[in-house]
Amino acid sequence: MQIICEAGPRIAGLSDGARFVSHIPHFDDEPVVVGDTFVDGYGCSIYGSVLQEGSRFRMWCQTWPRDYDGTDSLLVGCLESEDGLHWTKPSYGLIERSGSTANHLTNLPFHAPSVFVDPHAVADQRYRGFGYLHPERATGFSNIQVPGMGQTPGYYTAYSADGINWTVEPDPLWDSADVIAAAWAPWFSDAGAARIALKRNGLSAGLFRRRFLTSEWCHGAATPEVSAFVADESDDQAARAHGCLSADYYGVSWLPTPGPTVAMVWMFRHIPPMGRSADRLWNYGSLGQVDLELRYQPERGGRWLSLPGKPDWVNAAQAPEWARGCLYGRIPRDPRGR
């Protein structure tokens, strides 16, 4: 027997390599957070981030109020936990809803918010947030009704000393709308950087589809965005194996590692009837299920790869009843506990 680490004439050389293994996650029988107040009475979703800071977990999540009007919610709550399973909703007294400020809302006015700790920033900008903002719809947020604040919808960034009171920078970094995800990756480049994925729709393989570009944030600036996740015929084939018609990318979550970059992609698999833009003659998916798959990037700037056959990591139909339909993955705590 030749031991692989033994020096010997039969070992001609060694090369670096990685083995990518997918382990199916466990679902708890019951959700850990439910909408039980006015500000999240319609629902709460993990558009957001979870960070561990010392012995405390903090969750920034999207809240959908009891009087939800059908438009994109811009309400962001911040919850706290000692174990990541049992969560409390502190009262911050910042945003008035239904005649009261006794709620857990921050003044971060973002749809699909992402929050991380920026180790390069000064103390009053320790927390960095990204999200979609339509300023004209952000009623009740005094921190964006200031001179110089643009009225252009888009993906904005904001900063905070405590993660509760936020300053929104005046103009969007990128155009387009809906889902953006950012997480700090301490191993990405020598100084570390935040990985960012932002949705921008366009034509692909005969359909108008949701697709994602990526960027990095480091030392207070973002790099130019590049195309990363675009659905193609192989994604449609995987969708048809689930009894659906086609697919695109509804969202992306980052899983930082010291080796390859790993992303959890939210695969929106369409069922009929398809939506249609009458003026542009575009078909697009508007109904269906959202399942989770894994992608990985072996080296910075390289191709995004999938496991053979693009298998699901988590299938919505196999989730507990309360979680079926559409699954959104979100940003885990920073691997170094920051």
Looking at the chain, the whole-number percentage of residues with pLDDT higher than 90 is 65
Q: Are residues 322 and 197 in the same domain?
A: yes
Chain segment 38-68, per-residue pLDDT in tens? 999 999 998 899 999 999 999 999 999 999 9
Q: Domain check: are 316 and 202 in the same one? A: yes
Non-local CB neighbours of 61 within 8 Å, separated by 6+ positions: 33, 44, 45, 46, 47, 48, 76, 77, 79
In this structure, the answer to whether residues 169 and 184 fall within a common structural domain is no
Question: What phi and psi values does residue 292 have, to the nearest 5 degrees?
Answer: -110, 130
Structural domain including 290 reads 179-338
pLDDT tens sequence across 317-329: 888 888 887 888 7
> Cis (ω within 30 of 0) for the bond into 335?
no
* Same domain? 185 vs 142: no
**pLDDT tens-digit series, residues 72-81:** 899 999 999 9
- Report the candidate in 196, 220, 200 with the shortest Cα–Cα distance to residue 210: 200
Peptide bond preceding 25 in cis form (omega within 30 of 0): no
Same domain, 61 and 72: yes
Does 187 fall in a domain? yes
Q: Tell me, yes or no, whether 133 and 193 share the same domain.
A: no
151 and 258 fall within a common domain = no
Whether 23 is in a domain gets the answer no
Q: Would residue 80 count as lying in a domain?
A: yes
Q: Which of these, 334, 316, 311, 338, lies nearest to 326 by C-alpha position?
A: 316
Domain count, the chain: 2
Q: Which two tokens stand for residue 84?
A: 């990541």
| Single residue among 152, 176, 200 that ends a domain in this structure | 176
Whether residue 184 sits in one domain with residue 122: no
Model pTM above 0.85: yes
**Cα dihedral sign, 155-160-165-169:** negative
